[in-house]
């Protein structure tokens, strides 16, 4: 009789697992490293330092060339004020809102020779505050938004740190990030940013459309505005406090604006008397030609109509309790301010960072296309400014092609945001939605 042991079949020989190929191992290691870096605050801060120091290393050795308006425009304004030769916005009309005086004067404390470095340090400090707000909790979507912003700054290049717009961007970004937790502070910050550069008014309008407590929002904005203008009024600013409105309205067509495309390409082929010239009063390059003055006069009404239309779509979406409306509406209104303006300088492109970062934090999957396209817009902008800007001014076809591609991409992004708003505004009203969902943000909280 056989034993049980004898009846047990022999075990199969041990199988040695196949060794992964070298490329597969490297891909796995790289994937793991990227995953760890995406969630590492240390990695974010290292990248932050590399991006900002890298831009500074490119800009500062060349002084005026890459600092642009910082040296040619802001520094003379600051020196005139310090030496008692008049303060822009108070003693004379000014192209910017009165709040812009603070960032213009602050770097002058370091002296004229260090003004450019002090300016970049100031903007870097503001950027750092926004990064702290993004990374403090360590949440995945906020960390991804921080990485996106650093990539955006790197792709945009020197213009990301060397204009007044880049002072207002991190302030506006911080305000949007605080809407849910510190709503009144957020509205106050948006108001401050608007008194530095007008564009954050688009974000204020988006918030006003989507909140329930509109009266409180308006009160916070008006109170903050009163605090900002009190000192200039006491110093005798008078009507000059709002001189920036009339100054902007008197502009012609700047070379980078989408509406200028026809005359820029006409200048390439010497058609219709099209030519590029420098406006010494506004420190801008403009294009003129047959019909350009008519187009310039039409842009302000077109801009207002577009803003009203976009705001109406946002209102319908909010009325139908679409909680996704605010980030898309903010982006659409900012793009309307850009595309239907007579200017669209390269310094306007940083505006996109605030609504896109907010969208990535609130709706990362929904904003993926917008985020990627905005990175492409930043890269296209740096392709012609500052590196090839002289070729744009010379109406060289290749440089104008990069400018045209950038403007087309902006139009596509605007179309995407409007379609998203339209879908939200056309959705059936959710009768089961709680009343609090009607208020996407409630400043009374």
Q: What distance in Å separates the CA atoms of residue 38 and residue 42, rounded to the nearest whole number?
A: 10
Mean pLDDT (whole number) for 364-393: 95
Beta bridge partners of 92: 88
- pLDDT (tens digit, 9 = 90+) per residue, 296-311? 999 999 999 999 999 9
- pLDDT (tens digit, 9 = 90+) per residue, 308-334? 999 999 998 887 766 679 999 999 999
Backbone angles phi, psi at 220, to 5 degrees: -60, -45
Percent of the chain scored above 90 by pLDDT? 74
Question: How many residues are there in the chain?
Answer: 445
- Over 60: is that where the pLDDT of 24 sits? yes
- pLDDT (tens digit, 9 = 90+) per residue, 200-209? 999 999 999 9
- Over 70: is that where the pLDDT of 19 sits? no
- Over 60: is that where the pLDDT of 211 sits? yes
- pLDDT (tens digit, 9 = 90+) per residue, 328-378? 999 999 999 999 999 899 999 999 999 999 999 999 999 999 999 999 999
pLDDT at 76: 96
- Say if residues 156 and 382 touch (Cβ distance below 8 Å): yes
Q: What distance in Å separates the CA atoms of residue 246 and residue 240, rounded to the nearest whole number?
A: 10
- Say if residues 126 and 103 touch (Cβ distance below 8 Å): no
Short-list 166, 169, 149, 168, CA closest to 375:
149
Q: What distance in Å separates the CA atoms of residue 124 and residue 67, rounded to the nearest whole number?
A: 15
Q: What is the mean pLDDT of the chain?
A: 88
- pLDDT (tens digit, 9 = 90+) per residue, 226-247? 999 999 999 998 889 998 887 7
Q: What distance in Å separates the CA atoms of residue 409 and residue 340, rounded to the nearest whole number?
A: 14
């Amino acid at each position: 009789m056989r034993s049980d042991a004898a009846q047990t079949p022999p075990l199969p020989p041990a199988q040695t697992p196949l060794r992964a190929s070298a490329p597969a191992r490297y891909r796995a290691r790289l994937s793991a490293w990227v995953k760890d870096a995406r969630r590492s605050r240390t990695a974010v801060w290292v990248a932050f330092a590399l991006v900002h120091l890298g831009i500074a290393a490119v800009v500062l050795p060349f002084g005026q060339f890459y600092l642009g308006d910082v040296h040619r425009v802001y520094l003379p304004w600051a020196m005139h004020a310090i030496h008692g030769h008049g303060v822009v916005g108070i003693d004379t009309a000014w192209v910017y809102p009165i709040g812009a005086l603070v960032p213009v004067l602050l770097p002058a404390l370091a002296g004229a020779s260090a003004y450019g470095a002090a300016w970049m340090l100031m903007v870097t400090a503001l950027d750092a505050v926004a990064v702290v707000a993004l990374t403090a909790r360590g949440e995945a979507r906020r960390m991804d938004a921080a990485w996106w912003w650093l990539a955006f700054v790197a792709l945009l290049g020197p213009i990301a740190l060397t204009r007044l717009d880049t002072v207002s961007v991190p302030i506006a970004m911080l305000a949007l990030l605080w809407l849910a937790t510190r709503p009144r502070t957020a509205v106050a910050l948006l108001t401050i940013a608007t008194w530095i550069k007008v564009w954050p008014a688009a974000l204020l309008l988006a918030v006003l459309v989507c909140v329930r407590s509109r009266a409180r929002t308006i009160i916070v904005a008006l109170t903050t505005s009163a605090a900002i203008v009190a000192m200039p009024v006491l110093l005798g600013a008078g009507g000059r406090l709002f001189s920036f409105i009339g100054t902007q309205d008197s502009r012609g067509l700047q070379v980078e604006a989408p509406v200028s495309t026809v005359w820029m390409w006409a200048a390439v082929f010497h058609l219709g008397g099209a030519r590029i010239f420098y406006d010494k009063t506004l420190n801008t390059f403009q294009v003129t030609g047959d019909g350009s003055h008519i187009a310039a006069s039409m842009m302000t009404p077109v801009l207002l109509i577009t803003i009203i239309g976009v705001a109406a779509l946002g209102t319908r979406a909010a009325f139908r309790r679409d909680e996704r409306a605010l980030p898309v509406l903010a982006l659409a209104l900012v793009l309307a301010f850009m595309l239907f303006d007579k200017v669209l300088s390269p310094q306007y492109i940083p505006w996109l960072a605030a609504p896109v970062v907010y969208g990535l934090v609130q709706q990362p999957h929904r904003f993926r296309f917008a985020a990627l396209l905005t990175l492409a817009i930043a890269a296209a902008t740096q392709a012609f400014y500052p590196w090839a800007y002289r070729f744009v001014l010379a109406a060289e076809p290749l440089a104008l092609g990069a400018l045209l591609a950038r403007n087309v991409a902006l139009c596509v992004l605007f179309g995407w945001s409007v379609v998203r708003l339209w879908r939200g505004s056309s959705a059936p009203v959710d009768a089961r939605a709680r009343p609090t969902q009607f208020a996407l943000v409630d400043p009374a909280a």
